[in-house]
Structure 1
Amino acid sequence: MIQSEETFDNTFPYASHFTEAPGFRMHYVDEGPRAGQVILCLHGEPTWGYLFRHMIAALRGTHRVVVPDHMGFGKSATPEGRSYWLQDHIDNLERFVLALDLRGITLVMHDFGGPVGMGLAARHPDRIRRIVSANGPTPFGQADLVERWMANVQVSPWFQWIRKAEAEGRLETVLGELGFNILSTLKLNGFENHALITDIWLQAYGAPFTSSAECAGAIGWAKGVATGAHRFEVPDAQAMREIQSKPALAIWGLADRTLHAEHCLPLFSALFPYASVHKLTGVGHYCLEDAPDIIAAHVTAFLQYT
């Protein structure tokens, strides 16, 4: 776990806040006017709120930007005796949102933040105002979900490695050293801007994983994919209608080697057939690292015209 006051050479200069509402010490950033519309940014694997540092800077002047670190990531605790499946993270996020009484939420979701955020939307559609997917899948148990997911797995080096490593009994061993192999893990998933790789950048992404015990969150998300332990939230009919009525936006880096646009974007378009979709050439899976200014501009415009 990263120390609360750590700013990584002032590249993450945001005050730390904590809540025990999910049953562990959960860290979050809460920037901007309290009366502003809420932007809730949700990270995935194996990142944390640092991924949204540029988004926070771009929006906090006019919006309340809330960025939690999931259990086992960033500055949040990695409690023992907890499971780290998708449904656990949805439970945690629900408790977090209710504790802060966040309403009128614009979800901005990356990677596993997609199904976590959509799980929240399924349970509390009345609290959601808009939905933004940034290389973050939005599965809702659609009829073709398994088919599209398996097609994506077949062309994803990350998911192929996860399944192979789990079958050979070495998944926990390799990901338990994430603090040392963070660069290769991030690169396997995909970013294109190699100028990002500085000592500070590597420290920021590797710092949450200084021991095998602190890697439980990253291991859980990977292991859940390999074993099928994750459970996607399925909304009831009323919640589905409410969610599909929300303004939505997808931004997708087409160089994503983990979540391929041809397999993942149809899940979004099936839910939001009239939503805008921006496809970014030369931008990888970690689109918020490769193209932060472009994404911030798209999100800002979306907030303005909706």
Structure 2
Amino acid sequence: MSHSLSRLPTLATAAVAAAIAAAEPAAASRAVQSRTVKINGVELFYREAGPSNAPTVLLLHGFPSSSHMFRNLIPQLSERYHVIAPDYPGFGYTVAPADFSYTFASIADLIDAFTQTIGVRQYTLFVQDYGGPVGFRLAVKHPERLQGLVIQNAVANVEGWSPDAVKQLAPFWKERNTETEKPIRALLTADTTRFQYEHGTTRPQNLSPDAWTMDQAGLDRPGNDAIQLDYFFDYQNNVAAYPAWGEFLKQKQPPTLIVWGRNDPFFTLKGVEYFRNLLPNATVHDYDAGHFALETYGDEIAAETLRFLDTLPDK
């Protein structure tokens, strides 16, 4: 009896050690890793978390942010999914080479090559703002890779834009010069960056100043203004592609979740209506939030995204 009792602490310690060892891989898979990979001469930075053998979620960020906008979402999704979030050239920590063509088609080609380089063959796309035109290009180019689509304040119809935004961009697209650039340069200022986060929010206490401070630090880097102007000028090619993207969605009917900040000053609920008409089976949730709804309704959006991901069939 005394011999058996003397072994109890040892057995208990062994059991605890085994439990810790079993938990370590899971904990490690949820830790967000910062990585860099060279793709066609571009030093591309990305964040990665989750089990490498789980279905992949590709997070595509908007302007003027980077993968930093997903800093809270990544750990929540990565408990069950493999999550990757790259920075585009001119954003975040990805190096902005002088010879890169700063267009949305070039970003899409870069992200396409990136996914293939790191061995991702299928994914669910989570797109916000600029992530929309990047993700829709990827979907059209490789429909066989698309397992699902999460759209957060990213439009594919002109009516989805606010009239003020169209008015600001139209002269610049018609004729690019110093005068028509002025309203676009105003979009690169610290006041506008902060406005994008604060406008329309009903939970200001949930906003972190880190978000707009990080974004503005990126915008203020020497030479970055020229890069951003190139992207804004090229955005007219996204508008020209809207009909093709709409036809793709209508024909393919990918499983879709729409999570939307209804007080967005740029992209209105008419963008949601458009997607509803194209994708009648889509699940739609809108929130009392602005353009960056993840900042104030992150937990709710993460929960809806996980529910949606769990419904997707394995391919």
- Match of residue 210 from structure 2: 200
Q: CA deviation at 1:229?
A: 4.2
Specify the alignment match of 2:76 in structure 1: 58
Once the two structures are superposed, the pairs formed by residues 77-226 of structure 1 within 5 Å of their partners are: 77-137=95-155, 139=156, 145-146=157-158, 148=159, 152-154=161-163, 156=164, 158-163=165-170, 169=179, 171=181, 175=185, 178=188, 181-188=189-196, 190=199, 192=201, 193-195=203-205, 200-225=210-235
SS at match of 2:92: coil
Q: What is the letter of the counterpart of residue 58 of structure 1?
A: Q
Structure 2 unaligned residues grouped into runs of 5+: 1-30
- CA displacement, residues 32-82 of structure 1 (integer Å, 9 cap, x when unaligned): 111111010001111100111111011112111100011111011112133
Report the TM-score, using the length of structure 2 for normalisation: 0.77
Query: How far did residue 242 of structure 1 move?
Result: 7.2
CA distance in 2, matches of 1:112, 1:199: 21
CA distance in structure 1 between the aligned counterparts of 2:292 and 2:177, rounded to whole angstroms = 27
Per the alignment, residue 3 of structure 2 pairs with none
Between 1 and 2, higher relative CO (CA 8 Å, sep ≥ 6) is seen in 1
Give the SS at the match of 2:72: helix
1:47 to 65, 71, 83: 65
Secondary structure class of the residue paired with 1:187: helix
Paired residue for 1:8? none
- Write the deviation string for residues 84-138 of structure 1: whole angstroms up to 9, x where unpaired: 222121111111122123133111110110121011011111111111101122x
Amino acid across the alignment from 2:152: A
Runs of 5+ consecutive residues of structure 1 not aligned to the other structure? 1-12, 140-144
The one of 256, 261, 266 aligned to 1:258: 266
Indicate whether 1:268 and 2:268 are aligned: no
**Is residue 159–residue 258 contact of structure 1 (8 Å, CA) maintained in 2?**
no
Larger radius of gyration: 2
CA contact (8 A) 2:207 2:295 kept: no
Q: Supply the distance in 2 between the matched residues of 1:55 and 1:202 (Cα, whole angstroms).
A: 17
Give the whole-Å Cα distance in 1 for the aligned partners of 2:81 and 2:58.
Answer: 10
Query: What do the CA deviations read for 1:197-249 (whole angstroms, capped 9, x no partner)?
Result: 65533432222223341234432332224xx3445384798x767732x2111
1-structure distance, mates of 2:196, 2:213: 18
Partner of 1:295: 301
Letter in 1 for 2:77: L
Letter in 2 for 1:261: L
- The question of whether the paired residues in 2 share the 8 Å contact of 1:283 and 1:290 is answered with yes
1:249 to 230, 244, 257: 257
Does the 8 A contact of 1:30 with 1:66 survive in 2? yes
**TM-score, structure 1 length as denominator?**
0.79
Cα 1:117–1:209, aligned 2, differ >3 Å: closer, same or farther?
A: same
| Secondary structure class of the residue paired with 2:179 | coil
What is aligned with 1:30?
48
Q: 2:263–2:291: 8 Å Cα contact kept in structure 1?
A: yes
Inter-partner Cα distance in structure 2 for 1:173 and 1:261: 24
Q: Distance in 1 between matches of 2:95 and 2:37?
A: 11
The equivalent of 2:85 in structure 1 is: 67
Judging changes above 3 Å, is the alpha-carbon distance between structure 1 residues 191 and 100 closer, same or farther for their aligned structure 2 residues? farther
Return 264-273 or 23-32, whichever deviates more: 264-273
Greater helix content: 2
Q: Distance in 2 between matches of 1:160 and 1:135?
A: 19
- CA RMSD across the alignment: 2.9
Letter in 2 for 1:56: I
- Percent identical pairs in the alignment equals 25
Q: 1:229 and 1:240, CA in 2 relative to 1: closer, same or farther beyond 3 A?
A: closer
